[in-house]
Homo-oligomer: A and B are copies of this chain.
Amino acid sequence: MFPLNAWYVVARPDEIGSDKPLGRRICNQPIAFFRNSEGVIGAVEDFCPHRGVPLSLGFVRDGNLVCGYHGLAMGCNGRTVSMPGQRVKGFPAIRSYPVAERYGFVWLWPGDAALAREEDIPVPAWHGRSDWAVGGGLFNIRCDYRLLIDNLMDLTHETYVHSSSIGQKEIDEAPVATRVVDGLVVTERYMEKIKAPPFWQMAMESNGMDKTATVDRWQICRFQPPSNVLIDVGVALEGHGGFEAPVDKKASAIVVDYITPETDGSCWYFWGMARHFKADDAALTEAIRNGQHVIFSEDLEMLERQQQNLQAWPERGLLKLNIDGGGVQARRIIDELIARERAAAAS
């Protein structure tokens, strides 16, 4: 249950080398990724047309993906280039996929290639800005990707799941508002005159602020179809405008959540943080990455056990409270995209 005519993040660029391919399942489809001689990424079905072994067990030579079993050389376009001792012209092609390397990630279009336009890949706010720094990691989570979207569009869970780092009672107490603007879903929460939780105290200190100061805190979750969530987060010294405060009066960032279905019941989670302070400090990038790794790991058991429970009790309805508005609206958009694809396929 996911749109196929969409761009999904499938890898970080350094995961795909020019010597070894990467095998990864995306939207139920096993795919082999590799770089050709120009460094351009190719994405083909992970199925050698000769004997059906995964091409991702092979290697890259002269810009082609060579099968590790009998040496068939596959091009980026899914057509066999050569094979020792064989004429390959009549070999059946395998499927190739539109793939693009943009904004620090590799994107794949698993649907109808004729509809793929690279310029539709959304440009992140930090792109081309030297005063921002980005770091992150990857989790494979055994849950429907939509459960992770729900998770990220309702940050009240921070109070419970992340009580020792970014959670605080005030999140629960602050009202939340959800609106849909131009096909995006925005869920906002503002907490004024509070003490920063541990993670943000660290960030304030890193930015030369008094970590014990009273702050205004914000969380602005933005859902982008098909499945990404970018969250403006931060704290500013009390009374300086919050989200709009000058850089030296706040510690602010965007939580990066690129989410891609692996199967119907599992997903890839490219998480990270783009921060708007001390962008030159690589050690800080690493420290934040490690901190996020610990914090985001706390969600895994909850999400995977939720998936198991929902599979065991498929007939049960769930509540849709005000705090769930972001997830509810995001699913509505996803459902519309899927319905539109099906209608187009049927006609």
Are B309 and A54 in touch, CB under 8 angstroms? yes
A312 to chain B minimum Cβ distance, whole angstroms, is: 7
A10 to chain B minimum Cβ distance, whole angstroms, is: 19
A103-111, A120-128, A298-306: which lies at the B interface?
A298-306
What B residues does A301 contact at CB under 8 A?
57
Are A309 and B53 in touch, CB under 8 angstroms? yes
Are B47 and A316 in touch, CB under 8 angstroms? yes
Given A46-B309, A309-B52, are A70 and B30 neighbors across the interface (CB < 8 Å)?
no
Are A306 and B156 in touch, CB under 8 angstroms? no
Task: Tell me, in angstroms, the Cα distance from A309 to B305 when the chains sit together.
Answer: 29
Considering the complex, give the chain B residue whose CB is closest to the CB of A324: B51
Given A47-B316, A316-B47, are A160 and B68 neighbors across the interface (CB < 8 Å)?
yes
Indicate with 1 or 0, residue by residue over A312-326, a CB within 8 angstroms of chain B CB atoms: 110011110111100
Q: How many copies of this chain?
A: 3
Count of interface residues, chain A, beta-carbon cutoff 8 Å: 49
Q: Restricting to A250-264, which residues have a CB under 8 Å from any CB of B?
A: none
Task: Tell me, in angstroms, the Cα distance from A337 to B56 when the chains sit together.
Answer: 36
Chain A contact residues: helix, strand, loop or mixed: loop
Task: Tell me, in angstroms, the Cα distance from A305 to B172 when the chains sit together.
Answer: 48
What B residues does A86 contact at CB under 8 A?
321-323
Considering the complex, give the chain B residue whose CB is closest to the CB of A306: B53
What B residues does A30 contact at CB under 8 A?
309, 312
Are A57 and B156 in touch, CB under 8 angstroms? no
Task: Tell me, in angstroms, the Cα distance from A2 to B163 when the chains sit together.
Answer: 42
Q: Restricting to A40-81, which residues have a CB under 8 Å from any CB of B?
A: 46-47, 49-54, 57-58, 66-71
Task: Tell me, in angstroms, the Cα distance from A160 to B72 when the chains sit together.
Answer: 10
Is A157 part of the contact surface with B, judged by Cβ < 8 Å?
A: yes
Task: Tell me, in angstroms, the Cα distance from A71 to B321 when the chains sit together.
Answer: 13
Considering the complex, give the chain B residue whose CB is closest to the CB of A150: B51
Are B318 and A52 in touch, CB under 8 angstroms? yes
Given A84-B173, A85-B172, A319-B91, are A71 and B159 neighbors across the interface (CB < 8 Å)?
yes
Q: Which residues of A contact B (CB under 8 A)?
A: 30, 46-47, 49-54, 57-58, 66-71, 83-86, 91-92, 150, 154, 156-157, 159-161, 172-173, 175, 301-302, 305-306, 309-310, 312-313, 316-319, 321-324
